[in-house]
Every structure is written in C-alpha cells, then in structure tokens.
Amino acid sequence: MSGFEKRDLARGWRFVERLVRDDVPVDFDEQGERELDRQLREEGIDAGEPLTPEQLMAKVQARAGAPRATPRRRVSRVIWLLAAALCVGAAVFWTTRTPRVPGAGGRDARALREQAFHACDERRWAFCQAALDEARQIDPPGEDDARVRAARDAIAAGLAAAAGADR
C-alpha cells in the first residue's frame, strides 16, 4: 500500500469524535432538551440513535471540502524571507556605495571634481580652484588624473590672464 492508501484509524476516530463534539451545542441548559431534539431532527438526525458510518463519512467529506485558513507557518516563512531579502539588500547597498572620508562634510571627491570642471568651462577660476583643492583633501591620488592637471593648468593661465588685464 502506498502512503495515500494507508489508514490511520486512531486519527480518523479522533476526527469523527471532534465532528460529533462540534455539532452538539454545549449550552443544554439554555436550549432545553426539546429544542435540541428539534434541531437534530431538522438536520435529519434521530436523537435516540447513534450516527451510522455512512452519516459520519458524509460529514467527514463535507468538512474536508470546506476551505481552510492559511497556516501560520506559511505566513511566518514569508515574513522571514522578506526580512532576509531586506538584509541582503542593505548589505549590497552598504558594500557598493561610494566611501566617504570623515571630516569632508559628506562630499564626494568625484562630484567635487565634476563641479570644478564645469566651473572651469565657465571660466569661474576661483570656484574651480577651490573645488579642486577640496577634492584633493578628500582624495589625493585623484590629482594624477589628466583632466585635473589640465584644469589646474587652465586655472593658472586664466588667473594670469585676469591679473594681466587688471594692470
């Protein structure tokens, strides 16, 4: 016999007892014996006779077809999976973000250099030099970039030309 064909008699009997127990009202004092007999007759059950196996099986089949509530175990697994996904996302975020140097006011050297290049293109030499100097304090190896060297040369030439024009 396969696992589906085997019968667990004790478990089946407990299920039948629970069906019978759930179908009988608990408050005998309030309803009275006559009301209980009337309700049983409306359901087609003779109060004087025990249920037949066919009646019990019909109740079992009717109860088996009823929708069941979602088990708490499945819900808790979903919550744990969401929490794990959130942790993985946070870990990815923290490992891939651009490192910041303490004391730099939270500014990024690359962003400062881009602002400086834009200022140099607009011939705002003082702002360009200040932004490049601040970026150098945050990221000294970035000064070796060809664009930074070209911007510093442009600043020197621009400031010299401005000083010559002021004379």
Amino acid at 122: E
Is residue 90 in some structural domain?
no
In a domain, 137, yes or no: yes
Cα 100–chain centre separation:
28
Domain count, the chain: 2
- Report how far residue 131's alpha carbon sits from residue 114's, in angstroms, rounded to the nearest whole number: 9
Instruction: Measure the CA–CA gap between 55 and 43, rounded to whole angstroms.
Output: 11
User: Of the segments 1-10, 12-21, 65-74, 93-102, which one has the largest average pLDDT value?
Assistant: 12-21
What phi and psi values does residue 162 have, to the nearest 5 degrees?
-70, -35
User: Which residue type occupies 4?
Assistant: F
- DSSP helix/strand/coil, 143: helix
Asked if the structure places residue 4 within a domain, the reply is no
Q: Name the 3-class secondary structure at 146.
A: helix
Between 15 and 36, the higher pLDDT residue: 15
* Residue 89 included in any domain: no
pTM of the model: 0.37
Which structural domain, as residue segments, surrounds residue 141?
109-166
What average pLDDT does the segment 35-54 reach? 73
Q: Confirm whether 20 is domain-assigned.
A: yes
Specify if 58 maps to a domain.
Answer: yes
